[in-house]
Structure 1
C-alpha cells in the first residue's frame, strides 16, 4: 500500500450482543473458528501492517480478550483502549489515545469483519485529499417515507445510500470535531464531522461489509468465509 501519511484505525467493539441473543457479546463470537474481532483486525493488518490498530473494548473485557488472543495464538499488534458509555464516548477515547495530531484515522465497527481491502485503501487515500471518506452502498429495495399513521410517500432510492464503516478522516479535524459534547443528532462519525460545517466525501463500500447483529448474520458470515476459502 502506498504510504499517504501516518495511519491509524480505531476498531470500536463495545456491544453487548442483545439482539444476537447470546451470552457472549457478538464481537467475541466465533466465525470460521476465530472470534469476529480477529477477522476484523486482520483485514486492516494484511492491507498494511504499518496501520496502528486501536481496539476499543469495555474495560471489564480486557482480560477476557487477552485470554482469547492466547487461545487462538493471535499476534497482530494492537492497543487496547477503554470504551465509554456510548459509541461517541468510545470513539473519543480512541482518538484521545492517539498522541499524534497529524495523519489519518479510520473508524470501523468491530463487527464488520468483511470490509474489503480496496475500500480501506480508498478511504485513506481519499481522506488524505478530501478530509473525510465515508463508505456507502446503493439501496436495492424501494423505500417510502412515513408521514403519518396512514400516510407514506415514495422516495427515489437512487438519491440515498446505506452508510457503512470505515469512516476515515484527517486526524486533526476529527479530533476537533469530537472535542465537543455528544448530541442526539450524532448517528455516526460522519455526522460529528459534518456538524463542524465540513462536507463529508462518500466512497463506494462493499456489499459483503455487513454489520453482524443477528443469528442470521452469523450464518451468512460463515457462508462468506467458506466461499472465500473455496476461492483460494
Structure 2
C-alpha cells in the first residue's frame, strides 16, 4: 500500500544540480518526480499533481516564470506551492518571480538544508499531515506523527486506509473529492483498485467516526464524490 509520502517535482535542466536535489529530498522522505525542461514539467504536473514544485527559472524551451504562470492560472493547481530557484539574485527578479505566483524564491548557490526547510514550511501550509502536524476539525483531532485519531477525546480505531482517507479530508475541509482523486491520493497511482472500494472504506470511516456518537461528518455529493463537513 502506498504510504502518503509528500511528492516533490524537481524541474532543473542541469543534471548535477538535479541529482543533488533528488538525493537530498529522497533522503528526507519525499517521493521525487524529475523534469529536465518546461514542457516535460507541464505534462508531469498534470499527470502526477505533485504536492510541491521546485522550479528553476532558466530552462530550455518554456521558462520557469512561464510555467509558474500557467500553474497558477489553473484552479486545480493554484494551491500547489512553487519554490522558484534562480541564479538571478537581483531584487527586481525576485519580485517578478513572486508576482508571477511563486510561493518562495531561492537564489543559487543555495544551502540544501535551507531549501529543505523551506519545502517543509510550504508543506506545513498546504499538506500539514505530511510533516507530522496535528489536524483538527470540529471535535476530531488527527495526530499525523503518532497515527492516532480522537473524537471528543475518545480514541478511535482506524485502519491504515481509513486513516489516510481522513487525513486527505482533514487537510482540505469542504473540498469535494471525486472517487478517482481519492484513489490517486490514498491508494496511489500504481495500484489498480475499483472505485467502489472507495465507497466501502468511506463506509468504514463513517462508522469509526461515529463509534461514540456525534454527527456524520462526511457528506456524499451525488455524482461528484465526498467532502468533509
For the aligned pair, the TM-score class normalised by the smaller chain equals under 0.3
Q: TM-score, normalised by structure 1?
A: 0.26
Bigger share in helix: 2
Q: TM-score, normalised by structure 2?
A: 0.27
* Higher-Rg member (1/2): 2
